[in-house]
Structure 1
Amino acid sequence: METFTRRRDRFEMFDGFDSPAVNLTFTLDLPDFRPWCKAQGLPPFHVLLRAVLRSTLKVENFRWRVLDGEVIRIDRLAPSFTVVNQHNDLNFAQFDWSDDLREFVARGVAAREEASAMTALNGKYQTMTPRECRDQVFITCIPWLDFTSIQHPVAVLANPDIPSIAWGKFRDGPAGRLHLPFSVQAHHGFVDGFHIHQLAEHIAAELTAMMA
């Protein structure tokens, strides 16, 4: 927490705002990993999900949360993401982490199938303690839209400490690149635009390393 100690004055300033959230939407430039996924028999969404979550842990500022008025640092993530069910209603998929790519994907696919088959909202979230909730990053994908902005919901306006990340429709970029709209919302007391830039760089590096 040494890094946070140096930043505490920024945190205290932004934390006193009615809404201390920073929200950036930008075009994320990535290596086009879709052909590699097709050759490996892996769904691109889940591969990107893993790269995004691994990258959030590599940027120290995305590890900080607020619990009972105190700043804590998380060491793990409980993967989760939004799905739509047979009625096109929102639901939440959640599963246990695995460092193995194929196992991570398999668990994610199983969680997606389970959540999308539910009519009622997934009740697993209601059983989580406030501390367990902090081991999350809220993930949503809107694959139908090339959006240019998004407003993420926050349960308590003054406490957006759990980052929210969204991405949209893939589109071909130049020379084997992939472009997609990407949004990051986080507590500005923890995260600045520079840290969001770092996150984007790590995601691209994760995918490049995976395909090597």
Structure 2
Amino acid sequence: MENFARRRDRFEMFDSMDSPALNLSFPLELPDFRPWCKANGLPPFHVLLCAVLRAAMKIENFRWRIHDGEVFEIDRLIPSFTVINQHNDLNFAMFEWSDDLREFAARGSAAREAASNMVQFNEPYRALAPREAKHQMFVTCIPWLAFTSIQHPTAALACPDIPSLAWGKFRDGAPGQLVLPFSVQAHHGFVDGFHVHQLGEQIAAELAAIIEPT
């Protein structure tokens, strides 16, 4: 937490505001990983989800959280993401992390299937203890829309410490690239625009490492 101690004065300034949230939406250019997914029988959503979460965990500022008024750093993630059930209502899928991409995708696909078949809200997700819930990044995909901005809900307006990440409709970019709208909401006491830039760069690097292993 040495790096947090160095910016504690910035944290205290933003944390004293009614809403300390930083919200940025931008076009994110990535290696086109879809052909690789097709060739390897893996769903593009879960490959991208894995890359996004790996990237976020490699940037310290995205690992800081607040619990009972104290800042701490998470060392693991509980992957979760939004799904639509058979009635077109929102639910949340949640599963246990795996460092193995194929196992990660299998667990994520099973969690999606289970959550999409639930009429009621996913009870295990809702039952997470407050500190345990901090081991998340809130993730949503809106594949129908090339959105240009988004406002994520927060449980407490003054405590947006769990980052909220969203992406939308893919489009072709330069040869070998794709572009998608990407949104990051985080506590400005932890995350600045530069760290959002770092996240975008790291996501691209994670995907490149997946599809072009050395």
Which TM-score band (shorter chain)? over 0.9
| Structure 1 partner of 2:19 | 19
Could you give the per-residue CA deviations for residues 4-34 of structure 1, whole angstroms, max 9, x where no partner exists? 0000000000000000000000000000000
Correspondence 1:142-161 to 2 at 5 A: 142-161=142-161
Question: Among the aligned pairs, what percent are the same residue?
Answer: 74
Distance 2:194 2:148 in 1: 20
What TM-score does the superposition give when structure 1 sets the normalisation length?
0.99
Could you give the per-residue CA deviations for residues 156-191 of structure 1, whole angstroms, max 9, x where no partner exists? 000000000000000000111100000000000000
| Structure 2 partner of 1:39 | 39
Correspondence 1:1-212 to 2 at 5 A: 1-212=1-212
What letter corresponds to residue 52 of structure 1 in structure 2? V
| Ranges in structure 2 where 5+ consecutive residues have no aligned partner | none
What letter corresponds to residue 79 of structure 2 in structure 1? P
The SS at the match of 2:206 is helix
Q: CA deviation at 1:127?
A: 1.8
Distance 1:210 1:119 in 2: 35
What is the alpha-carbon root mean square deviation over aligned residues? 0.5
Distance 1:157 1:52 in 2: 25
Distance 2:193 2:35 in 1: 31
What letter corresponds to residue 211 of structure 1 in structure 2? I
Distance 1:118 1:128 in 2: 18
The SS at the match of 2:23 is strand
The SS at the match of 1:201 is helix
Distance 1:173 1:4 in 2: 37
Could you give the per-residue CA deviations for residues 18-59 of structure 1, whole angstroms, max 9, x where no partner exists? 000000000000000000000000000000000000001100
What letter corresponds to residue 204 of structure 1 in structure 2? A
The SS at the match of 1:14 is helix
Q: CA deviation at 1:125?
A: 2.2
Q: CA deviation at 1:206?
A: 0.3
Distance 1:177 1:125 in 2: 35
Q: CA deviation at 1:128?
A: 1.1
Distance 2:177 2:74 in 1: 33
The SS at the match of 1:107 is helix
| Ranges in structure 1 where 5+ consecutive residues have no aligned partner | none
Could you give the per-residue CA deviations for residues 123-159 of structure 1, whole angstroms, max 9, x where no partner exists? 1123211110010000000000000000000010000
The SS at the match of 2:39 is helix
What letter corresponds to residue 8 of structure 1 in structure 2? R
Q: CA deviation at 1:203?
A: 0.3
What letter corresponds to residue 159 of structure 1 in structure 2? C
What letter corresponds to residue 99 of structure 2 in structure 1? D
What letter corresponds to residue 169 of structure 1 in structure 2? K
Q: Which structure 1 residue ranges, 4+ long, deviate > 4 Å from structure 2?
A: none
Distance 1:79 1:144 in 2: 22
Distance 1:126 1:78 in 2: 13
